A = this chain, B = another copy of it.
Amino acid sequence: MAWNVYLSGEIHTDWRERIEEKAGQADLPVTFSAPVTHHEASDDCGVQILGAEQNKFWHDHKGAQVNAIRTRTLIGKADVVVVRFGEKYKQWNAAFDAGYAAALGKPLIIIHGPDHQHALKEVDAAALAVAETPEQTVEILDYVINGRLAGYNA
Q: Does B143 contact A107, Cβ atoms closer than 8 Å?
A: no
| In the complex, A21 has a CB within 8 A of chain B | no
Q: How far is the CB of A32 from chain B (nearest CB, A)?
A: 11
Our pick among B60, B69, B99, B149 for the contact of A99 (Cβ within 8 Å) is B99
Within 8 A of B (CB), among A19-61: 31, 33, 36-38, 40-41, 44-46, 48-50, 53-58, 60-61
Which residue on chain B has the smallest CB distance to residue A146? B36
Which residue on chain B has the smallest CB distance to residue A74? B1
Q: Which residues in B have their C-beta under 8 angstroms from that of A68?
A: 107, 122, 125-126, 128
Q: How does the 8 Å CB contact mask read for A125-146 relative to B, with 1 for contact and 0 for none? A: 1111111000010011001110
Q: Does A126 contact B55, Cβ atoms closer than 8 Å?
A: no
Given contacts A45-B149, A118-B60, A122-B96, whether A69 and B128 have CB atoms under 8 Å apart is: yes
Report how far A50 CA is from B119 CA in the complex, Å.
19
Given contacts A96-B96, A99-B103, A121-B61, whether A151 and B69 have CB atoms under 8 Å apart is: no
Our pick among B37, B54, B102, B147 for the contact of A100 (Cβ within 8 Å) is B102
Listed A/B pairs (28) with beta-carbon separation below 8 Å: A1-B74, A1-B77, A3-B73, A36-B143, A36-B144, A49-B129, A49-B131, A49-B139, A49-B143, A50-B140, A56-B118, A65-B129, A68-B125, A73-B107, A73-B144, A90-B120, A92-B120, A93-B122, A94-B95, A96-B99, A96-B102, A98-B99, A99-B99, A99-B100, A99-B103, A100-B102, A100-B103, A103-B103
